Amino acid sequence: MEAAFPQQFSVNISSVISVEFCPDNTGYSFEALKGIEPLKLADFIYLYVFYSSQYASVKSWRNSIPAHNGALKILNTPKYVVCKNITSEKEKAQCVMDFIIMSERVKVFRINYDEGERTSNQVNKVSVGVD
């Protein structure tokens, strides 16, 4: 995913892990406690950007076969067994994201950089297809 969006991710590790994805002066911040399994956070970010982001640069990536295959690979990972019986791809994506939010307490924020100042607002409900 980093190859598709060069220099648009930044990572900060303190008491929490914070990963920002900013395709322009706006974007998302994903936060989790430091003890999270790194791949679970990466899975969440991938699914969120793939299924929920409305950025134009994401739309062209989302339409690529490798990006879609990456999402399907995450959805069918055995560690997300709680969602294995869901057949709808979008419902399964929602289930996996909800599972990661609940089990790892991941938070999503919409962020904006304007004239060097950063503002953020927490996303209260993470939804597939809605930004």
Q: Where are the domains of the chain?
A: 9-122
pLDDT band at 125 (very low <50, low <70, confident <90, very high): confident
CB 23 within 8 A of CB 9: no
What count of Cα atoms within 13 Å lies in the side-chain half-sphere of residue 123? 21
Whole-number pLDDT of residue 131: 41
Whole-number pLDDT of residue 26: 86
Q: Looking at per-residue confidence, does 52 or 8 come out higher?
A: 52
Identify the CA nearest to 17 among candidates 104, 119, 122, 117. Answer: 104
Tell me the average pLDDT across 109-128.
87
Residue 83 in this model has a pLDDT that exceeds 80: yes
Summarised one tens digit per residue, pLDDT across range 2-44 is 666 656 666 777 778 889 888 778 889 999 988 888 889 999 9
Strand 117-122 relative to strand 26-33: parallel, antiparallel, unpaired? unpaired
Per mean pLDDT, which range of 1-15, 40-54, 80-94 is the poorest? 1-15
